[in-house]
Amino acid sequence: MNISLRGQKIQASPIRKLKPYADQAIARGVKVYFLNIGDPDVPTPQPVYDAFRDFKDPVLSYGPAQGFKELHVAMCDYFAGYNIPLAPDNIIVTTGGSEAILFAFNVVADPGDEIIVFEPFYTNYNGYAYFANVKLVPVTLRGENGFRLPPDAEIEAMINPKTRAILLCSPNNPTGTVYTPEELERIARIVKKHNLYLIGDEVYKELVYDGLVHKSILEYKAIEDRTIVVDSISKRFSCCGARIGALITRSKDIYGAALKFAQARLCPPSVEQKAAIAAYKMGLSYFAPVRAEYEHRRNVLYEGLKAIPGVSLYKPQGAFYMIVRIPVRDVEKFVVWMLSEFSHENQTVMVAPAEGFYSTPGKGRDEMRIAYVLKEEDLRKAVVAFRTGLEKYRSLNP
Map the footprint of a second copy across residues 331-350, applying CB under 8 A: none
Q: Which is nearer to a second copy, 290 or 328 (CB)?
A: 290
Burial of 342 (0-12, 13-18, 19+ CB in 10 A): buried
Is residue 12 within the footprint of a second copy (CB under 8 A)?
yes
CB of 136 to a second copy, least distance (A): 13
CB of 14 to a second copy, least distance (A): 10
User: Interaction with a second copy in 161-180: which residues (CB under 8 A)?
Assistant: 164
How many CB atoms are closer than 10 A to CB 218?
A: 23
Candidate residues 18, 32, 35, 65; the one interacting with a second copy per rule CB under 8 A: 65
Is residue 327 near a second copy by the rule CB under 8 A?
no
Closer residue to a second copy (CB): 50 or 185? 50
Residues 192 to 221 in contact with a second copy, rule: CB under 8 A:
195
Q: Please report whether residue 27 would count as binding a second copy according to CB under 8 A.
A: no
Q: Work out which of 32, 36, 63, 301 binds a second copy, going by CB under 8 A.
A: 63
Stretch that binds a second copy, among 78-86, 110-118, 289-297, 336-344 (CB under 8 A): 110-118
* Interface of this chain with a second copy, residues 366 to 395, rule: CB under 8 A: none
User: Does the footprint of a second copy cover residue 238 (CB under 8 A)?
Assistant: yes
Q: Which of 106, 216, 317, 347 binds a second copy (CB under 8 A)?
A: 106
Residue from the set 26, 60, 212, 307 that interacts with a second copy by CB under 8 A: 60
Q: Which is nearer to a second copy, 17 or 142 (CB)?
A: 17
Q: Give the angle subtended at the CA of 36 by the CAs of 32 and 42, to the nearest 5°.
A: 85
Scanning residues 262 to 291, which ones bind a second copy (CB under 8 A)? 263-272
Contact predicate 316/298, CB 8 Å: yes
Alpha-carbon torsion 387, 389, 392, 393, what sign? Answer: negative
Q: Select from 124, 180, 299, 388 the one that contacts a second copy (CB under 8 A).
A: 124
Q: Report if residue 108 touches a second copy, rule: CB under 8 A.
A: yes
When binding is defined by CB under 8 A, the residue of 225, 341, 376, 378 that contacts a second copy is 225
Of 125-133, 151-159, 298-306, 375-383, the window that binds a second copy (rule: CB under 8 A) is 125-133
Residue 260 vs 306, nearer CB to a second copy: 260
| Residue 6 or 306 having the CB closest to a second copy | 6
Contact in structure between 137 and 114 (CB atoms under 8 Å): yes
User: What span, in angstroms and rounded, lies between the C-alpha atoms of 222 and 287?
Assistant: 30
Out of 53, 151, 361, 377, which residue is the one contacting a second copy (CB under 8 A)?
53
CB of residue 255 vs a second copy: minimum separation in angstroms?
10
**Least Å distance between CB 98 and a second copy?**
4
| From 73, 158, 240, 308, residue interacting with a second copy (rule: CB under 8 A) | 240
Q: 59 or 213: whose CB is closer to a second copy? A: 59
Contact 108, 115 (CB under 8 A): yes
Give the Cα separation of 254 and 188 in Å (integer). Answer: 18
- Sign of the alpha-carbon dihedral angle for 285, 287, 290, 295: negative
Asked if 22 contacts 32 with a C-beta cutoff of 8 angstroms, the reply is yes
In terms of CB distance, is 109 or 141 closer to a second copy?
109
